[in-house]
Amino acid sequence: MKVLMLIVDGMADRSVSGKTPLDSAKTTNLDFLAEKGINGIMDTIAPGIRPGSDTAHLAILGYDPLKYYTGRGPIEACGAGIEVKPGDIAFRVNFGTVEGKGCVFDKVVVDRRAGRIQDKQVLVEAVNREVRIDGVEFILGNASGHRAALVFRGENLSDRITDSDPKKVGEKVKRVKALDSEAEFTAKIVNEFIERSHEVLDSHPFNEERAKHGMLKANVLLLRGVGKAVHVPSFEDRYGMKMAVIAGTTLIKGIGRLLKADVIENERFTGSRDTDLELKVKTAVESLETHDFVLLHIKAPDEFGHDGDFEGKKEFIEKIDSAIKPLTELDFSKVCLVVLADHTTPVSVKDHTADPVPLTIVCEGVRSDEVEKFSEFHAYRGGLCRIRGMDLMNIVLDLIGKAKKYGA
């Protein structure tokens, strides 16, 4: 038996005058699945703990975030296509714009996204080619928009250092500081990298050309989210199942690569509201032919939650609902379908909260319950009651006959 897991990012919400976007949306297909399956609510990490999307996905896939999550940097680096190794330190990077005189740390950040630059591959290549730092290797990986990821590899590297990104315009680039004496070497080489890369970027013909046309130079790399990579067992080693990930966002692709899954790329999977939902669903169903476990991730409802847009979130959930029609037609004697959100992103809060998320599991033989609607207000009455994210894979493995017996 195979598994298709649909994770809708931030789909769950809190009550606004007794309603949530999911509860007020017309969701014929999700409701059909809820009626057919077993339902419940889930604390992705633990009751009262507000999850990030990265820690949430790790827990849902049965990887204890307390053990495997060492910051966003390593996951973003995997997402940017860098092969991260244990001991590496990795950062999330923004291409930004600095102006002023002196060295990079005397200059002021005027834009943290370099005018939302897109086509920066040539700059990434120039930094990788032209910057040399004694005693350490580095890899700068390109990601979408103004984003990138950076990995340092070498002896005695430490992630006990601060960010260089001031996270505000009008402030100077921050010199990276060591948080303990063992991190002093790392802080020194990272600062050196920030200076050298600024010199290369600031004088690069691509940026000179941008400046000539009145555009902002992408002349600084702003570093944050540092983490030291640890060994993470692959999904296949752990569960004996070959995994495919269908996602648009770098973060979720990064989780997939971290677990050595096949990340199925398509430029129409944007990780935003303009994504091609029908194509994603079709790709997920097709991937069941070649893979044992397919993770289908849809991002946009989280964005509407962060924007505080109730109607937008509701309408997008309805779009998802009509796009997933093919999932209702799966052969549930061969496929176990799991539908859930990774966390709650209430429009009233505009950020993630710890409220549990609804989930449904559909497969042949599952003890279906009386829940007939996929919604925060109905799911808790289901047969799964209230579980944690780390329980989900065990429950799924048991349903598909792959769980090991504990005892005789």
Residues in contact with Zn ion by CB under 5 A are: 9, 53, 302, 342
The residue nearest Zn ion at its CB is: 53
- Cα–Cα dist 184/161, whole Å: 8
**CB 13 to Zn ion: min, Å:** 12
User: Toward Zn ion, which CB reaches closer, 109 or 298?
Assistant: 298
User: Toward Zn ion, which CB reaches closer, 9 or 13?
Assistant: 9
User: Toward Zn ion, which CB reaches closer, 23 or 54?
Assistant: 54
User: Toward Zn ion, which CB reaches closer, 159 or 342?
Assistant: 342
Cβ atoms 80, 148 nearer than 8 A: yes
How many C-beta neighbours within 10 Å does residue 279 have? 14
**CB 213 to Zn ion: min, Å:** 34
**CB 215 to Zn ion: min, Å:** 30
**CB 4 to Zn ion: min, Å:** 19
Cβ atoms 376, 44 nearer than 8 A: no
**CB 351 to Zn ion: min, Å:** 7
- Kindly state the DSSP code that residue 15 receives in the 8-state scheme: -
**CB 251 to Zn ion: min, Å:** 8
User: Toward Zn ion, which CB reaches closer, 124 or 261?
Assistant: 261
- Kindly state the DSSP code that residue 215 receives in the 8-state scheme: P
Long-range contacts formed by 133-139: CB under 8 A, 24+ apart:
133/189, 133/192, 133/193, 133/196, 134/189, 135/185, 135/189, 136/189, 138/193, 139/77, 139/82
User: Toward Zn ion, which CB reaches closer, 9 or 159?
Assistant: 9
- 169: tokens are 């315009």
**CB 209 to Zn ion: min, Å:** 36
User: Toward Zn ion, which CB reaches closer, 117 or 300?
Assistant: 300
